[in-house]
Structure formats: structure tokens, C-alpha cells
Structure 1
Amino acid sequence: MDATELPGSRPGSGTGPESRPGPAVSTFGVEEEFQLVDRLTRAPVARAEPVIEAASPSLGEQVQREFYGCMVEVCTRPATTRTDLRAQLAALRATLAEAAAESRCLLVASGTAVVPPAEPISVSDTPRYRRMARRFGACVDGRLGVVCGCHVHIGTADRAQALFLANRVRPWLPALQALAANSPFSGGLDSGFASWRVVEFGRWPTVGPAPVLDAAAYEETAEALVDSGTLMDRRMIYWFARPSEHHPTVEFRVADSNADLDVTVLVALLLRGLCATFLSAAGTGGPPPAVPAVRLRAAHRYAARYGSTGLVLDPFSGDEVPVRTLLAALVAAAAPGLDAAGDLTEVDRLLAGLRGRGNGAERQRAAFGRTGRLHDVVDGLAELTARA
């Protein structure tokens, strides 16, 4: 994200959480990436420029370009309550959907393009994106590579605290990935995965679980990645959990973009609850959980493959368990922070609703199963995206 103001940031100062308990997490924010699809073909179309121009008088810097010309991104301002966060997200979506309609296209929240474009979509015309396209051309195809994610920012006091949280939340991210899986179709076919976005985006360097790092190790690692040419700059650190380079936040990048706003809010609430819980015990807790990197990657692969149905891999034990078991453990781990914010009952309600209607991947497949038409899948996503 080429942002001037990241959501969820909260100014702060002080020593890292390893030396004293951190402050309670009070702010969070969300970035959502969307596709613009043609009203007739339902395929991605490069109309981001006129859509952003139409939305900018209302949204200002909260609406931005993304890597491809068929994508737009919006970001909330820092929020302290779930009500504020939901209202901001709904308003951003409504404004952007109206702007898309003016350019004869639909706003769609899906991790991948259901109907592929007939011709490759060009990279957005910004200096940084052009440089990225030149240096990482093998990752740039303009078709299957059009992927959209949802990123949650949690306000922190400093980088040390952001890394403290990233180190402790990382084993819980496969469960959230499974919950938010919303990209079963790719290239006009069922990929066999609930979240093909994670697989497709994984071709870019550093995409995956973050290593366990303190502030000094982070600096050394980030410098090495750039100096070696692995990355063009630090903003290309695409770990599933990372500290912001410019603002006091920790960013979680594991969720697909979801048409169902309840899913986006649920993921954000669970992440804030986990962070608040871990911060409250920062002065007495031990080291982060010793989860082997190979097992954690396998857990993410399970989550991408099966989503919220079937079995997932428990990163802590290495056992295959039902998704509900891992999600129940996640809610229990986050419960102190959720309760402190008054969000525990709402999380229970959102989870119950999601179990009743299925997550994004299940709903996309169900829509296709009813008619056998990918156009109907896209129409359902567009209607749900705008309805928020």
C-alpha cells in the first residue's frame, strides 16, 4: 500500500514490551483491496483511475491505487470501537461502489478474479509499481496474479511492541486465514483451494509466516533483504505479520478480501482481542510459542486448501483438528482482550452467523453450484460488497 496515513496507528513511545507491560490496544484499522469488473463480461477491467478520481472528493487519501489498474484500495482511519470500524468500512464501500458504477463496472471483494480478463491488466502507472514490474517481471502476469487481500492494523507504542505481538499472534493466523478464505476460483476454474490468493501471491518474495525477531534482528533482516536484491525496498516485506515502516502499528496480512463485511469485522476484532490479551501479560509472559517454521507453513497450506471446512493443522501440536476446534481455541485465547473491549458477545454472534451461512469460499461455490455460471458468482459478490 502506498499510504500516507496507515489505519490503526496510535502515537506512542517507551521501551519495548519485553521490559514492561505494554499499554492496552485501543485502536485498529483495516485496508481493503477490491477488483473492478466490467458489468457485461464480469472480468477485471482497468478503470481504477476514473473510479479513484470520482471517489477522491469524498474519500481523499483513503482511496488509493493498487498494483494493477483493475484494483483499488481503501483504508479506514484509526477506530476505537467495532461500531466505528464497521461504519467506516460500510461508508467506504458504498462510496467506491457508486464511483465504480459511474465507470460501468462493479466493485467486487474477492481474493482472486472469478472470471479472468481476456487480456493482461497493466500495472498501475506509478514510479514504484513500474520499478517493481521491471525487477520482478516473473511475478507479473496481469491475469491470475490479480489478487486482493484485507490487512488489519493494530496500534502499538513502538516497533519493539509490534514485533512482540507479531511473534505471539503468528501461530493463530492459519485459523484466521481459514475463516476468511474467499478465493476458490482462478482462471475461470475451481482451484480446489478455499484461498487460492495465498498460493498465487506466494510467488512474490517474503510472502508467508514472519520469522520470530526482536527489533535488532528485524533491522538486520530487513537490511539484508534489500541489500541482497531480494526486495526492492522494505515496503515489500510481505510477511503475514509485520511492523509498519512508517507508523506505530503491527499489520496482519493473512485474510482474503471478503464481500461479507461481517467477516472483515470479525477478523479485525479477533486480532485486536489477541493483541490486547498478549499485551496485558507482557510483563510476566515467557518467550513466544516455539512453533517450527515448517509446521506453521504447513498449517497455512491446510488453511488455504480447506478453509473453514474439514480439518486444519494445529500449529501448536501438529495434529489435524476440525476448524471449529482451532477457532474455539483462538476465541478463548483472545477472550480477555475481547471482554475488555466489550466485543466478546459480538464475536460469538458473528461466528454463529458465519457457521450458518458459510464463509466466502463456500458461498462462491454454492452460487456456482446453483446455476453453473461464473457470472452469477461475480454478481453475488458485487451485490454483497455494495450491500454493506
Structure 2
Amino acid sequence: MSRPRPTPARSTKGFLMCAMVIVPVRGVEPSPAGPPRGSSRMTVGVEEEFLLVDRRTGMPVARGPHVVEAAIPVLGERAQTEFFGAQVEVCTRPTASLTVLRSELALLRKVMAEAAAGEGCLLVATGTPAVPPGRPPTVTPGERYRQMAARWPALVGGYDGMVCGCHIHVGVTGHAQALALANHMRPWLPTLQAIAANSPFSLGRDSGWASHRSVEYARWPGVGPAPLLDEAGYERLADHLVRSGALLDRRMIYWHARPSEHVPTLEIRVCDVNADLDVVVLLTALVRGLATSLLPDIGNGRPPPDFPDRRLHAAHALAARRGPTGAGLGAVRGEHAPALMPAGCLLERAAPGLAATGDLDLAEELFDRVRRSGGGAARQRAAHLRKGRLSDVVGELVRTTAAA
């Protein structure tokens, strides 16, 4: 994946604005509004995890390996199994165009849904199952998954652990740039988490959380905000976590933002998978826009924001509990902010990068749709409220997942 850079900031329409300072990259002449001219766009890529559910009951069914096998002739390595047999994953190719990204995600969903139908099940984009599984989840065969299940057995069968995320990659020059971006993006990730919240139901009831996936997923070791690290510090810590047995391998570094071990990207792992594909496009635009907007700070040697870990954990908890329309903690000072203000501030902070890639109008439009709908968790609850049936929630999710 390739490199980034920003362009002129522009005020967003109809959202709460936050103070913002743009610092130019050293050695590059900035435009009057801030970010440098004549730069290439960061590439992006997305991984989406889906549930497979029974057509009649809506319960998760462990047909993932068969569904992936059916999809591989069309998708190749872009179709993959996941930890539990009732899950599948799709992965896009890197691209600099959100239009291309959306088209590929739509194709991946279509092919995987058709493969699922051939196996008598349905493809659902939700962070947690609305209808609980009828039996303990089955782990997908494979040596690595077997070792994980053996080392952490309480996380496999003792709770509703089939959680599905959306992982967004942005292209970087290497680990050093990925870690620098992760350090500067930390305070903004709770807001992304809130926008993406799409898992209110767990074990057949409303959990009270907008993103119950965040709660369940956090039971795994290695999940949480990334520590502030440079490249040498990352290597030391990663080696220690594996040698000490805290993690099975480096692939279990499940931080909310982490450098990829096999491709030159920064991976953002804080989002629920969303049935509405436009939400996925919005999240990707915001991630790239924010990263592009932060590059001048990094190039100028500005230190990461001083955001205490205790407050950061509280911000993530609020985001998971309340979703995009609830109050949260501001990313600048960590102060309590009214509903939608953190999301509006994120959009403004990402605006220079969004303008640089020509995505600002699109991001504003998609953000306004989320604001009006309340996001994925609100849509699930609205479907349940109509008749009080979880089957209606599953039906709405299946239709929206396929509508892409």
C-alpha cells in the first residue's frame, strides 16, 4: 500500500466545529490552509467479518469452511475462514479510490452471500448475534486456532464470543510511520468506535450497549488501546508478549491501532462490522482523512496528544455504551461532550485529509445519514421495537447486508 498526504481544509456543513491546527510537513511547502500540495493519496483496504445464520431460526451455524470453499473460485484469497465456524471474512485489495473500494466490498458481499445461500444459510453483518447460538460455538479447524482455543478455553465456549469486526488499513511507509500515526490517532478512535457501533443484542436480549462486541472482544488478551511506542519500543514489547506467553504470536496483538506484520499498513481494529455499506465507506474515509491530516504534525516532530490512559479507556467505554448519538469524551481535552459533538469534531479534524483526496463532500453526506438514522445499533433496536421479535432484527440485517 502507498503513502499519504493532505490538502486544503474546508469547513464542514451543519456540524459542531472544533479548534484545529495544521502543521506543515518539513521540507514541503504547505498550501495557505495547511496541508501540502501535490501529494499522492494513501491507499486503503478493508476486512469485514460476517456471521452465518440459519435461514429459519436465525441462529449462528458453523458452515464457514464450506461457504468459503464455495466462494474461493471467484474471490480467491479474498474469502477466508475465521476463528469460529459460524464466521467468514472478506478482504479487499488495496486501492486509493473509495469508489473502487465500495464496488469491491459490494462484490465480496454478493459472492459470499450467494455461497452462504448455497449452504442453506444467510450472511449477516452484525457485531454480535441477535439470536443466540443453540449450542457452544465451534472453532474452525486449524493448528493456530486449536492452540488459541486450548490456551484460552474460557473465551471459546463460555460466552457469546462470535464477534465480528471491520478492520480498516491505510498504507504507510513502514512500522515507524504506522506507529507514529497510531500514537496521534489514539484519542480519536473512541469516536470511530461510536460511529461504527452495531451490536446491541447479545444472548437473545438487548445488552444495553450500542457495541456489545467491544465488551466481548475485550476479553481476549491483546485487545485495547495501543500503547505509545516508537519502532524500537514496539519490537521489544511485541517480543516480550510472545516470549512471556501472554500472546500466542504477534498476530494476537489486537490493539485498536496496530502496524501490520505482513503488509505496510496501519490497521484500525476498533469498529463493528456494519450491514450498511455506506457506514463502512464513511469509516474508511474518516480513517484515511484523519491519518492524512495528522501527517504534518508527525513530520514536524509534534508529540502525540497528552491523553491519559485512564481517560482513554473511559472514552472507549462511553463509545461502546452509547454509540454515535450519545455523549462522549472529547478527543482534545478528554472533557465530557454532548451527543454528536465528538463525531463532529472528528469530521472537522479529518477535513483537510478528506479534502486532499476529494472525499469531503462524500464524508459529510454519509455522516449526515448516520446522524439521522442513529447508526447500526439504533437501526437494530428499531427493527426489534416494531414487533418485539429478534427474527425481525435478523431479517433487517440480512436485507441491509445484501442491499450493497
Q: Is the 8 A contact 2:3 2:43 kept in 1?
A: no
1:51 match: secondary structure: helix
Which residue, out of 110, 113, 124, partners 1:108? 124
State the shift of 1:10 in Å.
Answer: 3.6
Matched, 1:156 2:172: yes
**Offset at 1:308?**
1.4
Q: Normalized against structure 2, the TM-score is what?
A: 0.90
Aligned AA (1:80): A
Task: Structure 1 unaligned segments of length 5 or more: list them.
Answer: 1-8, 13-17
Asked if 1:349 is matched to 2:374, the reply is no
Residues 78-89 of structure 1: matches in 2 within 5 Å? 78-89=94-105
- Summarize deviations over 1:293-345 as a string: whole Å, max 9, x none: 01000000000000112211224323211242111111111111100100000
Of 120, 135, 158, the residue aligned with 1:119 is 135
Q: CA deviation at 1:277?
A: 1.2
Per mean C-alpha deviation after superposition, the further-off stretch among 135-144 and 199-208 is: 135-144
In structure 1, C-alpha distance between the alignment counterparts of 2:283 and 2:326, rounded to whole Å = 20
**Whole-angstrom distance in 1 between the partners of 2:3 and 2:367:** 32
Please list, as runs of the form range in 1=range in 2, the aligned pairs for 1:140-155 lying within 5 A after superposition: 140-141=156-157, 144-155=160-171
Contact 2:3 2:42 in 1 (8 A): no
1:357–1:169 Cα change, 3 Å? same
Alignment check: 8 A CA contact 1:24 1:280 kept: no
Q: Does residue 274 in structure 1 map to residue 290 in structure 2?
A: yes
* Residue of structure 2 equivalent to 1:334: 350
> Which stretch of structure 1 is more off in the superposition, 184-193 or 273-282?
273-282
User: 1:55–1:95: 8 Å Cα contact kept in structure 2?
Assistant: yes
Equivalent of residue 71 in structure 1, options 80, 87, 91: 87
Say if 1:188 and 1:374, in contact at 8 Å, map to a contact too: yes
Residues of 1 paired with 2:370 and 2:230: CA distance? 36
1:203 aligns with 2:207: no
Determine the structure 1 residue equivalent to 2:32: none
Give unmatched runs, 5+ long, in structure 2.
5-24, 29-35
Q: Distance in 2 between matches of 1:79 and 1:105?
A: 31
Q: What is the CA distance between 1:170 and its match in structure 2?
A: 1.2
Correspondences of 1:1-388 after superposition (within 5 Å): 9-10=1-2, 24-141=40-157, 144-388=160-404
Deviations 1:69-122 (A, max 9, x none): 000000000011110010010010011111111111110000001001110121
CA distance in 2, matches of 1:271, 1:198: 19
- One-letter code of the match for 1:267? L
CA distance in 2, matches of 1:322, 1:344: 24
Distance 1:227 1:28 in 2: 32
SS in 1 for 2:74: helix
SS at match of 1:34: strand
Q: Which amino acid aligns with 2:298?
A: A
User: For 1:210-243, what per-residue CA distance to the aligned partner results, in whole angstroms no more than 9, with x for missing partners?
Assistant: 0010000000110111111100000000000000
Q: Provide the C-alpha distance between the structure 1 equivalents of 2:246 and 2:65, rounded to a whole number of angstroms.
A: 30
Report the identity percentage.
56
Residue identity matched to 2:392? D
Contact 1:295 1:315 in 2 (8 A): no
Does the 8 A contact of 2:325 with 2:371 survive in 1?
Answer: no
* 8 Å contact from structure 1 (residues 11, 248) kept in 2: no
Q: Tell me the TM-score normalised to structure 1 length.
A: 0.94
Post-superposition offset of 1:143: 5.3
> In the TM superposition, what whole-angstrom CA distance separates every residue of 1:148-175 from its partner, at most 9, and x where no partner exists?
0000000001110000111111110000
Task: Work out the CA distance in 1 between the residues paired with 2:354 and 2:162.
Answer: 34
Letter in 1 for 2:106: A
Query: SS at the partner of 2:266?
Result: strand
Deviation of 1:352 after TM superposition, in Å, equals 1.1
Partners of 1:283 and 1:275 lie apart in 2 by: 12
Deviation at 1:282, TM superposition (A): 2.9
SS of residue paired to 1:147 = coil
How many residues of Structure 1 are paired with residues of Structure 2 in the alignment? 376
CA contact (8 A) 1:25 1:275 kept: no
| Partner of residue 19, structure 2 | none
Give the Å deviation of 1:11. 8.6
User: Relative to structure 1, is the Cα distance of residues 345 and 285 closer, same or farther in structure 2, using a 3 angstrom cutoff?
Assistant: farther
How has the CA–CA distance of structure 1 residues 366 and 224 changed in structure 2, closer, same or farther, with 3 Å as cutoff? same
Residues 121 and 142 of structure 1 are in contact (CA less than 8 Å); yes or no, is this contact kept in structure 2? Answer: no
Tell me which amino acid in the other structure corresponds to 2:69. Answer: E
Give the distance between the partners of 1:206 and 1:322, measured in 2 at CA.
31
Tell me the CA shift for residue 25 of structure 1: 4.4
| Per-residue deviation, 1:50 | 1.5
- Mapped to 2, the partners of 1:83 and 1:303 lie a distance apart of 28
For 1:49, the aligned partner's letter is P
8 Å CA contact 1:25–1:154 kept in 2: the answer is no
